[in-house]
Amino acid sequence: MSRVLVPLAVLEGESVSPGLVDLLAPADVTVLGYHVLPEQTPPDQARVQYGDRATAALETLTATFEAAGGAADSRLAFTHDRDRTIDRVAEETGSQAYVLPGIAESIDRLLVPLTGDVAADRVLAFVADLIGDREIGVTLFLATDAEADGRLLLEEAAETLAGRGVETESTLVVSEGPLDALGGRAFDALTEDAAAHDAVVVGERAPSLQSLLFGDEAERIAAESVGPVLVVRHSEDSAAASEP
């Protein structure tokens, strides 16, 4: 099974809930403890003062994942830029996905949005690998302005997962306007659905003007639903190409 990166603001006491630990049990987990500093402070200065405390917290977290049966290791980073650090460490560890931890007691059903320009194949393969032979259901979600194409895509996706023994349902939202504008109908429908599920798996998108203005889509979903959000990364090639 592939590697999943779990970035946590360790020094702010961010932790993982039992549902997420169970969900990630089949995966190799790298816990990335990070601490974001304002630019006045050299990262090394924070490491000198808080390194030990952070390392101790990370050991506890790593042990939690190991107790659930998976292999887990940890990295600790002091940074001015959280997203850059997550990107770099995910790249270096070859992680297929990273997690916005959220809170879930147990995870029985995943929401998997396929809206827009995401690598559906990678997302579905990751979901199937993660679920394995466990009793976890999937709701596929698609918002589109082309109903027929959308229905076809959902059917193909459902077949792919069914072929791996995963039970699926589908939600199709036909929308006229722009598909993922903040507060648009499609996004509202998605966050409503997300709140009704234990966790969400999304494909990473290239940064856009919209994500610069309103924040990353995955983070907006995480903010709206309480549960964990797993972000399946770009393939290595496209990730390297997006490096500024």
Partner 1 sequence: MDTDTPRGGGTNVDNEAPRIEPTVETDAATKTEDAELERTLGLAGGLAIGIGTMIGAGIFVFPGLAAGRAGPAAAGSFAIGAVIALFVALPASELATAMPKSGGGYYFISRGLGTLAGTVVGLSLWLGLVFATAFYLVGFGYYAVDTLAELGIAVGNGWVIPLALLFGAGFTVLNVTGTENAAKLQNGIVALLLSILTFFLGFGGLDALGLVGEPAAPERFAPFGAVPVLTTAALVFTSYLGFAQIATVAGEMRNPGRNLPLSMVGSVVIVGVLYVATIFVATSAFGSERLADLGETAMVEVGRHYLGPIGAVAIVFGGLLATISSANASILSTSRAVYAVSRDALLPRWASRINLRYGTPHVALGLAGGPILALTATGRVTILAEVASFLHLVMYGLICVALVALRRDEPTWYDPDFRVPGYPVVPAVGAVASFGLIAFMQPTSQLIGVAVMVATAGWYVYYARNVTLRGVL
DSSP-derived secondary structure letter, 234: P
Q: Nearest distance from residue 237's CB to partner 1, in Å?
A: 18
Give the residue with the Cβ less far from partner 1, 33 or 227: 33
Alpha-carbon radius of gyration of the chain: 18
Residue placing its CB nearer to partner 1 in the complex, 36 or 174:
36
Pairing mode of beta strands 229-232, 97-100: antiparallel
* Binding residue for partner 1, selected from 30, 62, 85, 168, defined by CB under 8 A: 85
Q: Of 19, 30, 78, 217, which lies in the binding site for partner 1, with binding defined by CB under 8 A?
A: 78
Tokens of 22: 């169970």
Count of residues near partner 1 by CB under 8 A:
34
Stretch of residues binding partner 1 (CB under 8 A), selected from 69-77, 152-160, 188-196, 209-217 = 69-77
Q: Which one, 73 or 156, has the nearer CB to partner 1?
A: 73
CA dist., res. 2 & res. 126, Å (int)? 8
Site string for partner 1, 20-59 (x = CB under 8 A): ---------------xxxxxxxxxxxxxxxxxxxxx----
What single string gives the DSSP state of each residue in 98-140? Answer: EEE----S---EEEEE--SS--HHHHHHHHHHHHTTS--EEEE
CA distance linking residue 211 with residue 146, whole number of Å: 24
Residues making contact with partner 1 (CB under 8 A): 11, 35-55, 75-81, 84-85, 88-89, 244
